[in-house]
Amino acid sequence: MVFARPWALALGAAFAAGVVLLHMLRPHPGPRTPLPTARFLAPDRRTRLRVSRPADALLLATRLAVVGALSLAAAAPSLEARREGGLRLVALDAGRGMGGAWDAALDSARALLAAAPALLVVFDTAAMVAGPDALDSLAAAGPSRVDSDYAAAFRGLRGAARGSRASTFEASILTMPRGSAWGPGLTSTRAAAWPAEARVIDPSGDAAPGREPERGRAPPLGPARVLGAAAADPYLRSALTALGYTPEAGEAGRDAGPLLVGPDAALPTETGEAPVTVLWGDRVGPELDLLWTRPSPAPSPPAAASATLFATAGARPGEYPATIQGAVGRAAGGPAQGAEVWAVDADGRPLGVARRREGGCAAYFAGDLLAPALVGSERYPLLLERALGACAPPTARPDALDERLGAGAVGVLSGATGSPPATAASLGLGDRRSLQRPLLAAGLVLGLLETLLATALGRARSSALSATSLGRERAA
């Protein structure tokens, strides 16, 4: 049993002790001596109090029961279901994008489900929990005719975990990672429904069935220093981790790692050996003179709007700038002379520029790099990767030109960015049954019973006192 407010129990115990003490203090009349002249004296109702055994045991028990029930209800107790053992959860993507790897996905699912206990979650736009026997019918039916939604997969995993009695979970998602299954708000849905790690297995890879291909596990690239409030942003940290960096706050250290400077932080005078310094936001300063030219006077920037990231071949030969759909707090101005473009908006206007400098590179993004609609896109890690490699020699990136997700996005999807192990505690699956309402109802019923008993005892005492007084008057 778990108590939400255990201090209420101590308060109830103190109140119960007071009730018992009151029942032990009884009025005791003084000794009576018959005197002939007593009839000329007015009766004295004063009595002495004596501590003795509690009087009216039934009434006392009822009052103690009322105090106990109400104090327990105030403590908000609940019974927690006991969880033990482990469970493997396999989410199978049944959307139409799996047509080319459907048979391989079913073989991988069979291999994963062979280890008992295990549950199968089948999803496209919705998810359902099925047994291993459902694979045969799925093989005959084939994938569905609608695009999948990864949010449904995480909701299905949570539903399967909640319906079980396991305490630890090993989650796997069998899918061909693609942008069409990454719906708006997926990162928020994932954080709420499944804030734990889930392996992303691509059945179309060369790995054996049931084994995880080397995707979404970028090699370690060292630390990346972040200045300003952006250092605490979970999406930026997650994307950096998925790309292989270790996010660090502050400008301490002189290691050869990238430096990201938020709009609320000033560029340090010495950037050390940072190979690239990334700036963003509607900011001004001498560090932007060689990167971005602002008109005078600068017009007010447009309001932020929803953004969609996708990659396409740019207007400049040999470059593949990221393209952003919609204004995301765009700063006024344009590239300075000699600056290279690495990001454009939907109209082809430059948004990201870079310039080589001695010992490294300086890059600037003329918008909000932490806009909610931007960080929630499956292409956000790709954009961040472009910013960090803005001055690198341009190379063809096949994953940027088709629907397949890049390694960074797969890392965010799988939770390989510092997510905790999947346990009932980390998922918030503490199944508890509250006892507060039944105890409150019992306290009210017992309170009514106590009122009836006290009324009956009071009437009985009044009748006895009246009879005694009448007898004395007759005797006198």
Is the bond preceding 398 in cis, omega lying within 30 degrees of 0?
no
Whose structure tokens read 């001004």? 284
Which of the four pLDDT bands, split at 50, 70 and 90, describes residue 121?
Answer: very high
Q: How far apart are CA 387 and CA 381, in angstroms?
A: 10
CB 424 within 8 A of CB 376: no
Backbone torsions φ then ψ of 421, nearest 5 degrees: -60, 155
Q: How far apart are CA 326 and CA 370, in angstroms?
A: 14
Q: Kindly compute the dihedral angle of the four CA atoms of residues 427, 428, 432, 435, in this order, to the nearest 10 degrees.
A: -170
181-185 long-range Cβ contacts below 8 angstroms, 24+ apart = 181/93, 181/95, 181/97, 181/147, 181/148, 181/149, 181/150, 182/150, 182/377, 182/378, 182/405, 182/409, 182/413, 183/149, 183/150, 183/151, 184/373, 184/376, 185/151, 185/376
CB 225 within 8 A of CB 276: no
Tokens coding 378: 């499956």
Instruction: Assign 3-state DSSP to the chain and report helix, strand, coil percentages, each to 5.
Output: 35, 20, 45
Q: What is the pLDDT of residues 248-302, one digit of tens each?
A: 887 655 556 888 888 888 777 665 567 888 888 877 777 777 888 877 654 545 4
CB atoms within 10 A of CB 101: 20
Which of the four pLDDT bands, split at 50, 70 and 90, describes residue 173?
Answer: very high
Mean pLDDT for the stretch of residues 209-214: 40
Tokens coding 194: 């499944």
CB 121 within 8 A of CB 91: yes
pLDDT at site 208: 37
Please give the C-alpha separations between residue 334 and each of 227, 280, 303, in angstroms, as whole numbers: 24, 13, 18
Average pLDDT taken over every residue of the chain:
76
Mean pLDDT for the stretch of residues 316-345: 71
Q: What is the pLDDT of residues 7-66, one digit of tens each?
A: 888 888 888 888 888 777 665 555 566 666 666 666 665 555 555 666 678 888 888 888
81-85, 137-141, 268-272, 462-466: which is most confident = 137-141
Which of the four pLDDT bands, split at 50, 70 and 90, describes residue 313?
Answer: very low
pLDDT at site 209: 39
Q: How far apart are CA 62 and CA 445, in angstroms?
A: 10
Q: Is the pLDDT of residue 398 over 80?
A: no
Q: How far apart are CA 234 and CA 231, in angstroms?
A: 8
